[in-house]
Amino acid sequence: MTSPQTGGTDAAAEARAWPQILARYREPSTGRGVLEIAVTVLPLVALWALVWTAVHFGYWWLGLLLALPAAGFLVRLFLIQHDCSHGAFFRHRQANDWIGRIAGVVTLTPYGLWRRDHALHHASTGNLDRRGIGDIDTLTVDEYTARSFWGRLRYRLYRHPLVMFGIGPAYLFFLQHRLPFGQMRAGWRPWASAMATNAGIALAAAALIWLIGLQAFLLVHLPIMLLAASLGVWLFYVQHQFARTSWDRHEDWTLHGAALHGSSHYDLPGFLRWITANIGMHHVHHLCSTIPYYRLPRVMRDHPQLRDIGRLTLGQSLRCVPLVLWDERRRRLVSFRDIGH
């Protein structure tokens, strides 16, 4: 395979060919979709109840331990919502949209608003001149060094792991998703999506608080939601923030080249791959976003040449955290230390 760094018309033609090759995997199965919902929602409900039981009887340590797998299934529900936003989960758009909206109440994510932003992310990923929607804010080396002291400090704080994977996810899911500020020119739809989701969240929370009490609800649900938010942001982070990702100025950017070489193959162990709904096969997803997630392993089996493109193991992904700036000369993400800061 041609590397993204060599460029050339052969690499561009190869990337453009993939969506047509992968088109035969796109057809969703209604039965499989229902099964995927069942094996996600039922364990999530059962684990939520077990966390409450542990907390109720004073076994706090067990409650926190059980909150982690519960958060994993909540992430999996978010990824079902994600597939629905691409029209990839069921054949009919209305089925996708209503499952996505219901899931959005549980994941605290307004489906219509998020679907719009995520579509823009797919349309602009890897384009240095169209950053800022649905992605991790990433500066080039030149942009960072041109900033004032306070501008550099703000960026360093934003990219600090405690903010990126701790404070940031909590802010995103609990506050930013509640009101679509920044979408004032997009009409009434973003507000309708956010307000309808907020109403659903309020009703669901009120029912659970009535059933088990406010304190128990907060002690059970907050740890699960906070863990799920951090896990979700981590997954999104490593999908595009790795050393040999691909970014280009608009005149050199191509949609399929950015999809193939700007998205990682996060090669996780089997159970983690299942619980994260194969989202680690992200380069394939960006090449053909309407492939249901349960068909992605078959794509990788049928086309083994895709396995090593952008491949990251679990251990290797941890080394992505310090990579915070795009070096346009070296065509790779670098750390602050790499540029002497």
Half-sphere exposure of 259 (CA within 13 A, CB side): 20
pTM attached to this predicted model: 0.93
Taking only the tens of pLDDT, the chain with its 341 residues reads 333 444 455 667 788 899 999 999 999 999 999 999 999 999 999 999 999 999 999 999 999 999 999 999 999 999 999 999 999 999 999 999 999 999 999 999 999 999 999 999 999 999 999 987 778 999 999 999 999 999 999 999 999 999 999 999 999 999 999 988 777 676 778 889 999 999 999 999 999 999 999 999 999 999 999 999 999 999 999 999 999 999 999 999 999 999 999 999 999 999 999 999 999 999 999 999 999 999 999 999 999 999 999 999 999 999 999 999 999 999 999 999 999 87
* Number of other residues whose CB lies within 10 A of the CB of residue 293: 21
Q: How far apart are the first and last CA of the chain?
A: 35
Phi, psi of 6 (to 5 degrees): -80, -25
| Residue whose tokens read 């796109």 | 26
What pLDDT score does 9 carry?
58
Q: At what angle do helices 60-85 and 214-240 cross, to 10 degrees?
A: 50
Cα 175 to chain centroid distance, Å, stands at 18
Rounded Cα distance between 266 and 242, Å, is 10
What pLDDT score does 323 carry?
96
CA distances from 36 to 31, 58, 75, 236 (A): 9, 33, 13, 21
DSSP strand pairing (325-327 vs 139-140): parallel
Rounded Cα distance between 316 and 295, Å, is 25
Rounded Cα distance between 45 and 234, Å, is 24
> What is the domain partition of the chain in residue ranges?
9-339
Contact 85, 100 (CB under 8 A): yes
Q: What is the dihedral of CA 32, 37, 42, 44, to 10 degrees?
A: 130
